[in-house]
Amino acid sequence: MADTLSIRRVSATPDAYIPISALRSAGPSYAKLVDIGACIGCKGCEVACKEWNDLGVEPTANFGSYQSHKDLSPKTWLLMRFNEVEVDGNLNWLIKKDACLHCEDPGCLFACPAPGAIVQYTNGIVDFNQENCIGCQYCVTGCPFDIPRFDVHTRKVSKCNMCVDRVEAGLEPACVKTCPTNAISWGSKDDMLALADQKVETLNARGYDNAAVYNPAGVGGTHMMYVVPHGDRLADYSLPSDPTASPTPMTALGFLKRIGAYLMGFGVLGVVGHFLRYGPERLEEHEDHEPRGDTGAAA
């Protein structure tokens, strides 16, 4: 976790509790733009990610795909997915740069019960702070993109942190730096949105009529966006068409928690009130009365 960046949100922490010293003036909001049409599948970004973040090697085996590993892991924060799909009679690689999208409204952060385990900076980066992580994996449940990965040995969750330590120092993330075709761009969110529109126009001119920008509104937009040549085939890119940061059960849970807090509070007040009104029931006072009920007891 970077200590010198302005903070926007902290997990399980009301805004009022974020130390004022952390709320420096808001800087620019950054975004990474991945132009899938310009990706040549070299996986240099995967290597750069491993190197910069010191994630180490994970042995892999040939499983009939050009892909390096089957899935993300606590040590693999970035995975180029090579989905083999037939488009107009031709085999295509619909590549997805699978890593955290850094949602504007992060479902992981909303789901996290541990104060300070997930932080969102004003620059848009969503970062996990493993020191405060309790290992409950609610963030995994809350993420609409299935990104965070749990390490069974450390019992902590991790994911791409957008090279927050590089960004803090004014550098671009390692994957951006290394990409040989400039398929990954880095800049302010506004600039990247404008660049994305240009790239879509270019793709349209080349005959990709369905080219689109992936910046889903259900999570308030993302700080890693894609330009997808086949915008009508999001599922084939393994991209959810309508991700949301507040799915129905979580919205209901938030609402019920509010009501529940009042119910339990009033429950306690209720018994205190009852006690003050009726007091302890002293049986000595009942000696002269009939016992409870209408049958009478042997006495």
Partner 1 sequence: MADMADRILHRFNFAERIVHWVVGVTFVLLLATGLAFAYPALFWLTALLGGGPSARVLHPWVGVLFGIGMGFMIAIWIRDMFLSDVDWRWLRAMRAYATRDSANVPPAGKYNAGQKMFFWFQGLLAVVFVVSGVPLWFPEFFGSGLLQWMRLAHYLATLGGGLLLIVHVYLGTIAYPGTARAMIDGTVTARWARHHHPGWHEEQTRP
Interface residues with partner 1 (CB under 8 A) are 12-14, 113-115, 132-138, 140-143, 146, 150, 155, 247, 249-250, 252-253, 256-257, 260-261, 263-264, 267-268, 270-271, 274-275, 278, 280-283, 286-287, 289-299
Local structure of residue 3 (DSSP, 8 states): S
The nearer residue to partner 1, 44 or 142, going by C-beta atoms, is 142
Q: Which residues pair with 120 in a beta bridge?
A: 9, 126
Answer for the pair 174, 153: CB distance below 8 angstroms, yes or no.
Answer: no
The nearer residue to partner 1, 55 or 134, going by C-beta atoms, is 134
Buried-state track 108-123, b at ≥16 Cβ within 10 A, e below 16:
bbbbbebebbbbbbbb
Long-range contacts of 124-127 (CB under 8 A, 24+ apart): 124/29, 124/30, 124/31, 124/189, 124/223, 125/5, 125/30, 125/161, 125/162, 125/164, 125/167, 125/223, 126/100, 126/102, 126/162, 126/223, 127/1, 127/2, 127/161, 127/162, 127/164
To the nearest whole angstrom, how small is the minimum distance from the Cβ of residue 297 to partner 1?
A: 4
The nearer residue to partner 1, 33 or 126, going by C-beta atoms, is 126
To the nearest whole angstrom, how small is the minimum distance from the Cβ of residue 179 to partner 1?
A: 31
The nearer residue to partner 1, 14 or 64, going by C-beta atoms, is 14
The nearer residue to partner 1, 113 or 220, going by C-beta atoms, is 113
To the nearest whole angstrom, how small is the minimum distance from the Cβ of residue 280 to partner 1?
A: 5
Answer for the pair 184, 86: CB distance below 8 angstroms, yes or no.
Answer: no
To the nearest whole angstrom, how small is the minimum distance from the Cβ of residue 219 to partner 1?
A: 14
To the nearest whole angstrom, how small is the minimum distance from the Cβ of residue 162 to partner 1?
A: 22
The nearer residue to partner 1, 103 or 174, going by C-beta atoms, is 103
To the nearest whole angstrom, how small is the minimum distance from the Cβ of residue 256 to partner 1?
A: 6
